[in-house]
């Protein structure tokens, strides 16, 4: 295997006017006809809830032309370059980690530690661009990872949430600490007939168990609650300290592709049925209930990703049509507008400070900067040779009050993880075009925000 090397400048304009003034990274692969299922997001109701698709072998991903995974071996990942110049561009590529092990489906980052999950059975841990640790699950296709203190939660294609614990004396050692639901809780619940619910065509299952792939995990750290969303059309609520399933909510008419817990007990879910729904947590003693509040969006295109900023004031939704919608909670969740630019489905979203990152099946990552309701496209991070499936963002250690910088991790179906440096002070594409003497550039010619007064009904 050959190590990959890339130019540092990875700003690419959607308009051909900019291409002569910016450096391309690795050329994109020739376009091929790829099925929607290759992106491992349920797009429609067709077989969206099929109990026969519980294993990784039966998943749409395993049938994908992207999937040509090789057996696990201990060959090293390939770093970008040990001698990366200190004066890298404000928004550019730091490094690229590549292993012929499987497509990257999930990422989680905390305190300079990066966890990566793929359609192999291995969850890898990275520190300073080097492999720090690894642990193996009994099920392939790690679709979601979330970190909570010394615990790591992973969501899998087989419908289970697995729990891992970092050993305090040896941080590189991760031990399996159980799964959700626990074996004891399954046994206890199975005794009562009332604990069985109908899931499909007269088939019943325990309400505490997901009976299809887990698509997403989210955490309310203040309440110690974990949320898991599934292709079985439900989301479930777990108490982290005792591994109990507190509630199962039949949320949508099709696969739930995303769940996000926000402030004040608000939870958002997005589905292949084209809707985004808002739920409010109500707690009475040990009882937890999530009450439906409203539907933010109802469209034909599948909802593929959700993200909420730290204060909970803005909600973003990515769709299979390549559009990002957003709503502002301060205005009673009124529709704020749409961000257009991606040519294919938006598969993942992340938020850091005033920046919004959108990863797409078009292989690009758009960096948007929010100023009130106005969003400007700062840059496009290019270099992946496959759909960008997941994103994670951490504050850069070099970040200052005058210049906030972020380290962005992107995982792709090209089997690589790329690491980017992004600054909120970077010039946006519009200003760069003007500086290059292209005064006739309009907002329509570059992937910036398009504002709509007749947005989706609320």
* Residues 377/383/388/394 CA torsion (nearest 10 deg): -70
Which ranges constitute the DSSP H helices of 132-248? 183-190
CB neighbour class for 124 (10 Å; exposed up to 12, middle 13-18, buried from 19) = buried
Pairing of strands 303-308, 287-298: unpaired
Task: Determine contact, residues 67/389, Cβ cutoff 8 Å.
Answer: no
CA dist 31 and 28 (Å) reads 8
Mean per-residue pLDDT over the chain, rounded: 78
CA dist 381 and 13 (Å) reads 10
pLDDT band at residue 435, thresholds of 50, 70 and 90? low
Task: Determine contact, residues 14/380, Cβ cutoff 8 Å.
Answer: yes
pLDDT at 236: 98
Is the pLDDT at 430 greater than 70, yes or no? no
pLDDT band at residue 73, thresholds of 50, 70 and 90? very low
Query: Which residues make Cβ contacts (< 8 Å) with residue 431, sequence separation at least 6?
Result: none
Task: Determine contact, residues 347/329, Cβ cutoff 8 Å.
Answer: no
Please tell me the number of Cα atoms within 13 Å of 102 on its side-chain side: 22
Task: Name the nearest CA neighbour of 161 among 137, 134, 185, 135.
Answer: 137
Task: Determine contact, residues 142/411, Cβ cutoff 8 Å.
Answer: no
Q: Which top CATH class is 91-447?
A: mainly beta
pLDDT tens for 178-195 read 999 999 999 999 999 999
CA angle (159, 99, 87) in 5-degree steps: 115
pLDDT band at residue 101, thresholds of 50, 70 and 90? confident
Measure Cα distances from 255 to 68, 202, 231, 381, 403 in Å: 26, 19, 4, 30, 40
pLDDT tens for 104-160 read 999 999 988 999 998 888 899 998 888 899 998 887 689 999 999 889 999 999 999
Residue with structure tokens 């990942």? 77
Domain ranges of the chain: 91-447
The SS3 call for residue 189 is: helix
The SS3 call for residue 146 is: strand
Measure Cα distances from 380 to 262, 412, 426 in Å: 28, 16, 12
Is the pLDDT at 226 greater than 90, yes or no? yes
pLDDT at 140: 67
Look up the pTM and report it: 0.79
pLDDT at 431: 56
Task: Determine contact, residues 312/264, Cβ cutoff 8 Å.
Answer: yes
Task: Determine contact, residues 166/148, Cβ cutoff 8 Å.
Answer: no
Q: Return the higher-pLDDT residue of 99 and 173.
A: 173
């Amino acid at each position: 295997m050959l190590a990959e090397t890339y130019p540092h400048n990875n700003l690419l304009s959607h308009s051909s006017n900019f291409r002569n003034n910016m450096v391309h990274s690795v050329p994109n692969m020739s376009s091929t006809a790829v099925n929607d299922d290759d992106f491992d997001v349920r797009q429609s109701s067709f077989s969206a809830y099929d109990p026969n698709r519980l294993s990784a072998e039966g998943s749409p991903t395993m049938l994908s032309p992207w999937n040509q995974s090789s057996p696990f071996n201990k060959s090293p990942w390939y770093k970008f370059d040990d001698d990366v110049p200190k004066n890298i561009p404000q928004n550019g590529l730091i490094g690229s980690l590549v292993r012929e092990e499987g497509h990257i489906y999930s990422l989680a980052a905390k305190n300079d530690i990066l966890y990566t999950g793929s359609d192999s059975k291995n969850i890898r841990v990275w520190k300073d661009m080097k492999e720090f640790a690894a642990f193996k699950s009994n099920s392939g296709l790690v679709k979601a990872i979330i970190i909570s203190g010394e615990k790591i939660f992973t969501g899998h294609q087989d419908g289970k949430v697995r729990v891992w614990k970092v050993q305090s004396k040896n941080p590189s050692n991760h031990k399996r600490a159980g799964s959700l639901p626990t074996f004891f809780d399954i046994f206890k619940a199975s005794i009562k007939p009332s604990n069985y619910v109908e899931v499909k065509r007269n088939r019943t299952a325990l309400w505490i168990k997901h009976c299809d792939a887990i698509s997403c995990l989210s955490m309310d750290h203040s309440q110690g609650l974990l949320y898991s969303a599934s292709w079985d059309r439900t989301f479930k609520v777990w108490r982290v300290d005792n591994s109990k399933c507190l509630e199962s909510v039949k949320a949508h008419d099709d696969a739930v592709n995303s769940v996000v817990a926000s402030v004040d007990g608000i939870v958002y879910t997005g589905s292949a049925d084209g809707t985004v729904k808002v739920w409010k947590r109500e707690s009475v003693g040990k009882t937890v209930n999530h009450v439906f509040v409203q539907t933010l969006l109802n469209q034909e295109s599948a909802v593929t990703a959700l993200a909420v900023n730290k204060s909970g004031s803005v909600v973003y939704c990515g769709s299979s049509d390549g559009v990002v919608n957003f709503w502002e909670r301060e205005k009673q969740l009124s529709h704020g507008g749409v961000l257009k630019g991606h040519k294919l489905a938006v598969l993942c979203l992340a938020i850091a400070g005033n920046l919004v990152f959108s990863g797409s099946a078009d292989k690009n990552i758009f960096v948007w900067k929010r100023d009130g309701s106005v969003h400007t496209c700062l840059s496009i991070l290019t270099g992946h040779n496959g759909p960008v499936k997941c994103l994670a963002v951490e504050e850069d250690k070099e970040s200052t009050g005058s210049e906030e910088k972020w380290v962005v991790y992107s995982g792709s179906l090209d089997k690589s993880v790329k690491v980017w440096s992004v600054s909120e002070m970077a010039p946006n594409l519009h200003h760069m075009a003007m500086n290059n003497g292209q005064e006739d550039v309009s907002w329509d010619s570059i992937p910036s925000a398009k504002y709509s007064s007749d947005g989706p009904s609320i």
